[in-house]
Structure 1
Amino acid sequence: MENLSIVILFLFVLFTLLGTGVWVGLALMGVAWVGMELFTTRPVGDVMLTTVWSASSSWTLTALPLFIWMGEILYRTRLSEDMFKGLSPWMARLPGGLVHTNIVGCTVFAAVSGSSAATLTTVGKMSIPELRKRKYPENMIIGTLSGAATLGLMIPPSLTLIVYGVTINESITKLFFAGIVPGLVLAMMFMTYVAIYSKVSSKWRPDVEDPMTFAEKLQNSRFLLPVLALIVVVIGSMYLGYATPTEAAAFGVIGGLILAASQGSLTWKTFTESLMGATRTSAMIALILAGAAFLSLAMGFTGLPRGLANLIAAWDLSRFELLMVLLVFYIILGCFLDGISSVVLTMAVVEPMIRAAGIDLIWFGIFIVVVVEMAQITPPIGFNLFVMQGMTHHEMGYIARTAVPMFLIMVLMVFVLILFPDLATWLPDNLRQGPN
Structure 2
Amino acid sequence: MDIVTLSGLLLIALLVLLGSGVWIAIALLSIGWLGMQFVPNVPSSGTVLATTIWGNSASWTMAALPLFIWMGEILFRSRLSEEMFRGLAPWLNRIPGRLLHVNVLACGIFGSVSGSSAATCATVAKMALPELKKRGYDEKISLGSLAGAGTLGILIPPSIMMVIYAVAADVSIIQVFLAGFIPGALVMGLYSGYIILWALLNPKRMPPPEPLMSLREKLSESAKLIPCMALISLVFISLLAGWATATECAAWGVAGSLAIAWWSGTLSRTSFWQSVMGTTRVTCMIMLILAGASFMSTSMAYTGIPQALAAWVQTLGLGPFGLIAALTVMYIILGTALDGISMIVLTTTVVIPMVQQAGFDLIWFGIFLVLIVEMAEVSPPVGFNLFVLQTMSGKDSNTVALASLPFFGLLVIAVAIITIFPGLVMWLPRLVFPG
TM-score range, shorter chain: over 0.9
Distance 2:386 2:268 in 1: 31
Judged with a 3 Å threshold, the aligned counterparts in structure 2 of structure 1 residues 3 and 336 are, in CA distance, closer, same or farther, namely farther
Per-residue CA deviation, residues 245-265 of structure 1 (Å, 9 max, x unaligned), is 110010110110110001110
1:63 is matched by which residue type in structure 2? A
Kept in 1, the 8 Å contact 2:14–2:31? The answer is yes
Instruction: Tell me the residue number matched to 2:239.
Output: 238
Instruction: Tell me the residue number matched to 2:12.
Output: 12
1:17 is matched by which residue type in structure 2? L
Q: Secondary structure of the equivalent of 2:99?
A: helix
1:411 is matched by which residue type in structure 2? V
Deviation at 1:16, TM superposition (A): 2.3
Per-residue CA deviation, residues 319-363 of structure 1 (Å, 9 max, x unaligned), is 111111111111111111111111111111111111111111111
Kept in 1, the 8 Å contact 2:49–2:295? The answer is yes
Paired residues for 1:21-420 under 5 Å: 21-40=21-40, 42=42, 43-201=44-202, 204-420=205-421
Judged with a 3 Å threshold, the aligned counterparts in structure 2 of structure 1 residues 40 and 121 are, in CA distance, closer, same or farther, namely farther
Judged with a 3 Å threshold, the aligned counterparts in structure 2 of structure 1 residues 82 and 13 are, in CA distance, closer, same or farther, namely same
Distance 2:325 2:278 in 1: 37
1:24 is matched by which residue type in structure 2? I
Distance 2:308 2:101 in 1: 48
Deviation at 1:21, TM superposition (A): 2.5
Distance 1:330 1:3 in 2: 23
- Which range is displaced more, 423-432 or 201-210? 201-210
Q: Secondary structure of the equivalent of 1:27?
A: helix
Kept in 2, the 8 Å contact 1:40–1:301? The answer is no
Count residues with an aligned counterpart: 434
Distance 1:56 1:233 in 2: 28
Per-residue CA deviation, residues 209-234 of structure 1 (Å, 9 max, x unaligned), is 11111121111110000000000001
Kept in 1, the 8 Å contact 2:179–2:364? The answer is yes
- Which range is displaced more, 16-25 or 333-342? 16-25
1:13 is matched by which residue type in structure 2? A
Unaligned runs of 5+ in 1: none
TM, length-normalised to structure 2:
0.97
Per-residue CA deviation, residues 181-202 of structure 1 (Å, 9 max, x unaligned), is 1101110110000000001126
Per-residue CA deviation, residues 108-135 of structure 1 (Å, 9 max, x unaligned), is 0011011001101111110010001011
Distance 1:375 1:133 in 2: 30
Distance 1:305 1:203 in 2: 55
Deviation at 1:40, TM superposition (A): 4.2
Unaligned runs of 5+ in 2: none
Distance 1:79 1:414 in 2: 31
1:285 is matched by which residue type in structure 2? I
Distance 1:398 1:202 in 2: 22
Kept in 2, the 8 Å contact 1:95–1:198? The answer is yes
Q: Secondary structure of the equivalent of 2:21?
A: coil
Kept in 1, the 8 Å contact 2:238–2:244? The answer is yes
Per-residue CA deviation, residues 36-91 of structure 1 (Å, 9 max, x unaligned), is 12444531111111111112112111101000000000000011110011000012
Per-residue CA deviation, residues 130-154 of structure 1 (Å, 9 max, x unaligned), is 0010111111111000111111111
Q: Secondary structure of the equivalent of 2:37?
A: helix
Distance 2:360 2:226 in 1: 40
1:315 is matched by which residue type in structure 2? L
Kept in 1, the 8 Å contact 2:83–2:225? The answer is yes
TM, length-normalised to structure 1:
0.97
Runs of 4+ with >4 A deviation: none
1:384 is matched by which residue type in structure 2? N
2:10 is matched by which residue type in structure 1? F
Deviation at 1:432, TM superposition (A): 5.9
Kept in 1, the 8 Å contact 2:97–2:206? The answer is no
Distance 1:26 1:372 in 2: 22
Kept in 1, the 8 Å contact 2:96–2:199? The answer is yes
Judged with a 3 Å threshold, the aligned counterparts in structure 2 of structure 1 residues 203 and 349 are, in CA distance, closer, same or farther, namely farther
Distance 2:378 2:57 in 1: 29
Supply the RMSD in Å over aligned alpha carbons.
1.5
Judged with a 3 Å threshold, the aligned counterparts in structure 2 of structure 1 residues 101 and 45 are, in CA distance, closer, same or farther, namely same
Distance 1:338 1:305 in 2: 23
Kept in 1, the 8 Å contact 2:309–2:350? The answer is yes
Distance 2:46 2:311 in 1: 30
Distance 2:88 2:31 in 1: 48
| Percent of paired sites with the same residue | 47
Kept in 2, the 8 Å contact 1:238–1:248? The answer is yes
2:153 is matched by which residue type in structure 1? G
1:25 is matched by which residue type in structure 2? A
Kept in 2, the 8 Å contact 1:239–1:432? The answer is no
